Amino acid sequence: MESSPDPTVETTNSKPPGIRLIESMKKSSLSFNSYQVIVLILTFFAYTSYHANRKTTSIVKQALGPQSPVVLPSLPWQRNITQKPFRDGWLPFDGPNGTAMLGDLDVAFLFVYAIGMYFSGHVGDRMDLRIFLTAGMLGTGLFTALFGVGYWANIHNFYYYMLIQMAAGLFQSTGWPSVVAVVGNWFGKKKRGLIMGIWNAHTSFGNITGSLVASILLKYGWGWSMVVPGIIIAFSGMVIFLLLPVHPEYVGVNKDEDEVLSTGKEDEEVNEPLLREEESAVGFIEAWRIPGVAPFALCLFFAKLVAYTFLYWLPFYISHTGLSALICHAIDGRYLSNEDSGNLSTLFDVGGVVGGILAGYISDQLDARAITAASFMYCAIPALYLYRSYGHISMTINIILMLITGVFVNGPYALITTAVSADLGTHRSLKGNSRALATVTAIIDGTGSIGAAIGPFLTGYISTKSWNAVFVMLMGAAFFAGLLLTRLVVAEVSGKIQEVRSQRSS
């Protein structure tokens, strides 16, 4: 028995204070479509700020880590030529084991984030998501800023940064289940792939924003690259508290005003209401049993392993490999600066924006999420190979290949964490119970986040031996991600064939 009050019985008296103020000034209630626009904009910028804070670590990593000499391209007349690094690291990360220690920070953050995700989904389905999301954003801002405080406080204790990252990971885990649940409450399955594909650009937009802000501030001291994004997300959290409408029923809007709320097929009659006062939140084990949750969750494990390795290590890779040495050799024989490496890495996320929208649109047109996700993952394999093999030839080729890799790596990642999660959170087996959205989202993204923790962690160690081995690992992960969806792909293909046959017979 649940002893806590059921949040589904909230009325218009629980409207966010900012919404009440806007409606009092207008002297009329907002329309359903107006609420939808508000939800999309607020959740977009909320998760943009989450990812901007997450991305700062990969930029700061360049200033913290060891600055060992880099070997120039292995051309016959350039073998074993090295140049002296132009900057110093930050104790204790500037020693021989510095790269591995930075990898340990990544895995500490992401491991706690993954574990916290399971609990966040469970809690999020049982309380006001507006309050829950606000608390998560304020906590994220606090601990991101405390990491940067280590610069001015001259803190060189590894465990200080480790604990800060673990606390930040816990608070960051509140974000994704909350925003997907809120958007899922306002938008049904029709065109959900395209809508959420566009909306999911917040992930890449946050990475780009975080990279640019952190890179610009890095020259003033790496502490600023952490503190400023922390302040921004804390401010965004207060905006969420004032304005975010969590569910149509919470603000007294008739959810039947728009067909987009339908969770069934266009030709199906939906007799069950989307949200009922007596419904109870779906349990953790019950959510795992929803058809499709397990294979998509395991697929995301490998997809996020690839995506987060790029998220955390791409700027470091660019500034510590033959690419920067070759490019700068043509301009004066210098390495790419921290700022230039961070800015260049944002192009991967630009490709990710295109990939997310493209995957969402294609999956809507085909009505086949698994086929789309698996196809993108298989295409990511040659893209990764080409980027590693030919990305160092010139800046132009590197940019093109980085964009292509971003499209195929982030496309399925975006699709699974948005449209697929929302589809499964309102699966017909739930019989209209919508209080599984946050739990299902947390299970899928939490499982994926374990992979996200393992990828950067392994990269911290493997990269000290060979970057070729890192890319082999990434290509293997992409292959397994696609392979895990085979059963669902076969089912979707069979369904399409059956559909074509029935159309011909009729």
Dihedral-angle region of residue 335 (phi above 0 means left; psi in -120 to 50 means alpha; beta otherwise): beta
pLDDT in tens, 438-461: 778 778 888 888 888 888 888 878
Whole-number Å distance between alpha carbons of 295 and 326: 43
Region 48-62: what's the mean pLDDT? 88
Whole-number Å distance between alpha carbons of 391 and 318: 10
73 phi and psi angles, rounded to 5 deg:
-50, 145
* C-alpha gyration radius of the chain: 23
User: Could you tell me if 424 and 290 are in contact, meaning their C-beta atoms sit under 8 angstroms apart?
Assistant: yes
Q: Place 281 in a pLDDT band, splitting at 50, 70 and 90.
A: low
- Candidates 2.60.40.420, 1.10.1200.10, 1.10.490.10, 1.20.1250.20; correct CATH number of 7-68+90-255? 1.20.1250.20
Both tokens of 51, joined, read 């990812």
Region 336-352: what's the mean pLDDT? 76
The number of C-alpha atoms within 13 Å of 165 and in the hemisphere containing its C-beta is 23
Nearest residue to 476 via CA among 450, 455, 453: 455
Identify the pLDDT of residue 67: 60
Identify the pLDDT of residue 13: 52
DSSP secondary structure, 422-491, as one string: HHHHT-GGGTT--TTHHHHHHHHHHHHHHHHHHHHHHHHHHTTT-HHHHHHHHHHHHHHHHHTTHHHHHH
Identify the pLDDT of residue 436: 64
User: Could you tell me if 52 and 210 are in contact, meaning their C-beta atoms sit under 8 angstroms apart?
Assistant: yes
User: Could you tell me if 211 and 338 are in contact, meaning their C-beta atoms sit under 8 angstroms apart?
Assistant: no
pLDDT in tens, 182-207: 887 887 666 566 777 788 788 878 88
User: Could you tell me if 186 and 35 are in contact, meaning their C-beta atoms sit under 8 angstroms apart?
Assistant: yes
Exposed / middle / buried, residue 365 (Cβ in 10 Å: 0-12, 13-18, 19+): exposed
Whole-number Å distance between alpha carbons of 365 and 394: 37
Nearest residue to 200 via CA among 425, 35, 421, 25: 421
Q: Place 462 in a pLDDT band, splitting at 50, 70 and 90.
A: confident
pLDDT in tens, 71-106: 434 434 333 434 444 446 788 888 878 878 888 888
**Mean pLDDT lowest for which of 131-135, 157-161, 168-172, 281-285?**
281-285
Helix, strand, coil share of the chain (percent; to 5) = 75, 0, 25
Region 286-298: what's the mean pLDDT? 84
Q: Looking at the chain, which residues constitute the CATH 1.20.1250.20 domain(s)?
A: 7-68+90-255, 281-505
- Candidates 1.20.1250.20, 2.90.10.10, 2.102.10.10, 3.40.50.10490; correct CATH number of 281-505? 1.20.1250.20
DSSP secondary structure, 89-135, as one string: --TTTTSTTHHHHHHHHHHHHHHHHHHHHHHHHHHHTTS-HHHHHHH
Identify the pLDDT of residue 346: 80
Mean pLDDT of the chain: 79
